[in-house]
């Protein structure tokens, strides 16, 4: 499988002193699991778990919304793929906060999924010059189900996004996913990946570039992927032709900076891209990878939460010490060259 030349990741720093970068990239893509990004209203929640995980008060929801907006504003991604959000309404609250507090205008996109247990969904935020042409979801058909090879992906969203590049328009297919969690869920994730590949074969007819992004809940580590795993299925796209393999951008990050979760060594989150976003065509100006960073600093407030305090006493922590999520954002930046 093709792997890009390693690019060093930024060292985590306090949120108040996030690293300054060079000129903003023409295209930047973020993935971030916001961990129960639910407002305080329970009127549209039906499951016991969703009600329990909603923000306990309007004041605490306002803190969560504004703190997430502040972190996103520090990097100003062109596209933000978010997981564990309650739905489009909370994304709208977030875009309003980004506009009001940071003068950043984003559009929010979501399609309600069918996870009735958690009521979590995924969504996208986009800002100019990126424009969303269409959003889609896949369906496991009766014939697919009969084979036993495909699995339902209750939390996913695909979007066709147009981006102006050197006087022409390039199209990106971005697929935001949140797979089943847990080591015992590996076989389910493999079936979910197989379904995703089936849908992408249809969705990618137009795009120049493909990005599969999100919280894969994978136990595979970057550069060390088992052949039968969900990551292998997604990256090779189940074909014999290596030309259409997707590239795991976490492989371009220094190994010591690849952790994307509170739990030591876990790399649940990924950005997979087509080679067209890696290879630099010397004959034309096109999008090409600049760098990839895991931004732990955007999620951690003060010292990192322990697993016990984060999961068992989250809202008892002071605002200044409460981490925004148990996941850390990954940002990929692309230049036109």
User: Residue 249: exposed, middle, or buried by beta-carbon count in 10 A (0-12, 13-18, 19+)?
Assistant: buried
DSSP symbols for 41-105 = --TT--SHHHHHHS-SSHHHHHHHHHHHHHHHHHH--SEEEEEEE--HHHHHHHHHHHHHHH---
Average pLDDT of span 295-322: 95
Q: How far apart are CA 9 and CA 295, in angstroms?
A: 9
- Per-residue pLDDT, 17: 37
Average pLDDT of span 133-147: 97
Q: How far apart are CA 236 and CA 6, in angstroms?
A: 20
pLDDT confidence bin for 244, thresholds 50/70/90 = confident
With a cut of 60, say whether residue 119 has pLDDT above it: yes
With a cut of 90, say whether residue 24 has pLDDT above it: no
Token pair for 314: 């989250």
Please name the fold of domain 15-336.
Answer: Deoxyribonuclease I; Chain A (3.60.10)
**Tens of pLDDT, residues 50-89:** 999 999 999 999 999 999 999 999 999 999 999 999 999 9
Q: Which strand (E) or helix (H) includes residue 191?
A: helix 186-203
Whole-number mean pLDDT of the chain? 92
Q: What ranges make up the beta strands (E) of 96-191?
A: 107-110, 121-126, 131-136, 156-165, 168-178
With a cut of 50, say whether residue 297 has pLDDT above it: yes
Q: How far apart are CA 13 and CA 254, in angstroms?
A: 16
With a cut of 60, say whether residue 292 has pLDDT above it: yes
User: Residue 240: exposed, middle, or buried by beta-carbon count in 10 A (0-12, 13-18, 19+)?
Assistant: exposed
With a cut of 80, say whether residue 1 has pLDDT above it: no
Q: pTM (2 decimals)?
A: 0.92
Token pair for 20: 């300054």
Contact 288, 335 (CB under 8 A): yes
With a cut of 50, say whether residue 14 has pLDDT above it: no
Taking CA atoms, 277 is separated from 88, 89, 250, in Å, by 29, 32, 14
Token pair for 317: 């922590």
Taking CA atoms, 30 is separated from 54, 80, 260, 315, in Å, by 24, 5, 13, 26
Before 14, cis peptide (omega within 30)? no
Q: 58-75 and 88-102 are packed helices; what angle lies between their axes, rounded to 10 degrees? A: 60
With a cut of 80, say whether residue 220 has pLDDT above it: yes
How is the chain split into domains, by residue range? Answer: 15-336
């Amino acid at each position: 499988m093709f792997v890009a030349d390693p690019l060093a990741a930024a060292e985590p720093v306090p949120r108040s002193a996030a690293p300054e970068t060079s000129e903003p990239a023409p295209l930047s893509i973020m993935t971030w699991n916001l961990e129960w990004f639910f407002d305080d209203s329970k009127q549209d929640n039906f499951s016991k778990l969703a009600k329990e995980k909603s923000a306990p008060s309007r004041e605490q929801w306002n803190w969560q919304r504004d703190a997430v907006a502040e972190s996103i504003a520090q990097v100003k991604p062109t596209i933000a793929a978010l997981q564990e959000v309650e739905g489009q309404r909370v994304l709208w609250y977030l875009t309003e906060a980004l506009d009001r507090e940071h003068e950043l205008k984003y559009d929010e996109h979501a399609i309600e999924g069918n996870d009735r247990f958690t009521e979590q969904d995924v969504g996208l935020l986009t800002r100019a010059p990126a424009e969303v042409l269409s959003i889609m979801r896949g369906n496991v058909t009766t014939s697919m189900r009969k084979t036993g090879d495909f699995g339902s992906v209750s939390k996913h969203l695909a979007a066709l996004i147009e981006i102006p590049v050197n006087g022409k328009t390039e199209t990106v297919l971005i697929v935001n996913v949140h797979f089943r969690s847990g080591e015992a869920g590996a076989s389910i994730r493999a079936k979910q990946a197989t379904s995703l590949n089936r849908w992408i074969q249809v969705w990618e007819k137009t795009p120049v570039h493909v990005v599969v992004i999100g919280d894969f809940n994978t136990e595979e580590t970057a550069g060390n992927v088992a052949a039968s795993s969900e990551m292998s299925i997604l990256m090779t796209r189940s074909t014999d032709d290596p030309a259409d393999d997707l590239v795991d951008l976490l492989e371009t990050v220094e190994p010591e900076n690849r952790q994307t979760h509170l739990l030591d060594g876990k790399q649940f989150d990924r950005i997979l891209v087509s080679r067209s976003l890696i290879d630099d065509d010397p004959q034309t100006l096109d999008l090409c990878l600049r760098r990839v960073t895991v931004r732990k600093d955007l999620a951690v407030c003060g010292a990192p939460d322990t697993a016990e305090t984060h999961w068992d006493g989250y809202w008892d922590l002071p605002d200044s010490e409460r981490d925004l999520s148990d996941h850390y954002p990954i940002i990929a930046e692309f230049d036109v060259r």
